[in-house]
Structure 1
Amino acid sequence: MQPTPIPALSDNYIWSLADDDGDWLLVDPGDADPVLAACGDRPPPRAILLTHHHADHIGGVSALVAHWPGTPVHAPADPRIGHADHRVGDGDRVTAGRWAFEVLATPGHTVSHIAFHGHGLLFSGDTLFSLGCGRLFEGTPRDMLGSLDRLAALPDPTLVCCGHEYTLANAAFARVVDPDNAALRRRHAKATTMRDHALPTLPSTLGEERACNPFLRIDAPAVRAAVAARAPGAAGDRIEAFAELRRWKDGFRA
C-alpha cells in the first residue's frame, strides 16, 4: 500500500493511494490533468482528501468530480474551499473504503490547515516538508511550532507525504544551519541522486525528519547555536528561535 506521488504544476505532488483490489483515493489534487492522465481509466476514487485551501492543492477538484461523479470530498471547515461534501476538523475520522484516517489540526501555513494520519502514512500538505516546513502565510510561529511538535510525536516509520518537491532546496538551507549533522549529509546525498535520476525524494520518514529537519530540531544545541549567531535575543526561547529560523529560511538563497 505504497502511496504514489503524481507530479503536478511546477513542483507539487498529488498523492494517490491504492490497494491490491483496485480501491484508491487522492490527496490534494491541485490539477486534474496529471491525475486523469495517470488514473483516468480507473473506477472512481473512494475519496478526495484536501489539507488546505490553496489553489495548487484544490484546483483540480471540480474537474475530477465531474469525471467521477459522486466522489466524496473531505476538506477543512474553510469557506475558501468551495467543493466539499464533508467538512472535517481536529479529532475527526475519515473513512474511505478500507482506509481510515485521523484528522489533525495543523495551523500555521494557513489557519485551517489539516493533516491526515493513518496506516503508517501522514499526508501533511504544506505543514511539514522533507527537511523543511511551510511558510507562515496566516498562522503564527507558535501555531506552526505546535503543529510540527504534534507531527513529530508520530512514530518514526511514518511515511511523510507532503505537497511539494522541495527537498534539495530545503537541504541547502538545513546544511547551513546544521553543517555537522551526518544524517543530514546522507539525506542530502541520497536526495541529490534521486533527483539526478528524475525520481521523487518523497515520501520520507518521520524518523529521517526528526534526525535531519532543522524545524523539528529547534531544541538541538547546533540549531540553537546557529540561531544565536544571527539573533542572540531569540535563541533562549523556543518559539522565538523557531520564528527566527523561519525568517532566515524565508530570505535564504543558496
Structure 2
Amino acid sequence: MRNIKLTIEYDGKRYLGWQRLGDSDKTIQGKIESVINQMTGEKIEITGSGRTDAGTHARGQVANFKTNTELSRPEMLSFFNRYLPSDIVVKKVEEMPERFHARYNVKGKQYSYYVWNDPIPTAFERYHSFYVPQELDLAKMQEACEKLIGTHDFLGFSALKKSKKSTTRTIDEIAIEQEGSMLHFTFIADGFLHKMVRILMGTILAIGSGDLGLEVIDEVLTEKVRKAAGETAPAQGLFLDEVYY
C-alpha cells in the first residue's frame, strides 16, 4: 500500500469549502476524490491538513491518501491536472512513509489575508480580497498584531463555543505589507482554531478603522468572549499558503 502526499492549489470562490458534503459536489475534497477514484479504480478517501471554509483559497493545501495503484508520480500528476476543474491544481505528488498523516503530523501553518484599501473598489481582486474603503491606521494595526504574537488561549478569537481540546496556540508572526492599495497580512502559527484568522483580521481592521481600541485584544484573550472581538472578515480574502511538517 502506497501513501501519497498531494500539495494542492485552489480558487475557492465557487466551492462550499474543503470538506466533502453528502448532498453537494461543490467541495474541493469531493472533486479530488472523484478524480482519484477514476484514476485508481479504488474507492479512496483523502485526508486534508485541515478544513478551509467556503470561499477560502489555497496555494499550499496538503492531503494524503493510501492506494495500490502502480501509476508513477508523474503519471498521477498529469492525470490530476487533466481531469480536475481548472480552479483546482495539484502542484506536487510525493511518496511518503506509511505513517505520514496530513492532519496529525502538522507542525504549523501560514495563511495570507488580502485587503483592498481604497475609496474605489477593484474589479479584478473582488473574489481574492476584502474591500475596505475607510482609511486604516497601519501603525495601530501593527500594534494590534504585536499584541497577538505569542502563546495565548485564542478561544475568544474563534467560532468555537467551547472545546474539549486545548484552544491555546502560538502565533510566531503577523506581518503587514502594503503595495499600493493592497494590504497583505501574513499569519504564521503552530495551528489555528475554526475561523481564527478571519476573526483576528476583523478585529485588527476594526482597530485600524478606529471602531475598536487596542485594549479589546487583552479583553478577549483574558475573558475568552467571542462577541467582544471584531466581526469575522469575509472568506474571499483568505489563502492557506503553506503547511509545515
Fold-level similarity (TM above 0.5):
no
User: Relative contact order, CA 8 A, sep 6+: which one is greater?
Assistant: 2
Q: TM-score, normalised by structure 2?
A: 0.30
- More helix, by proportion: 1
Select the structure that is richer in strand.
2
Using structure 1 for the length normalisation, give the TM-score.
0.29
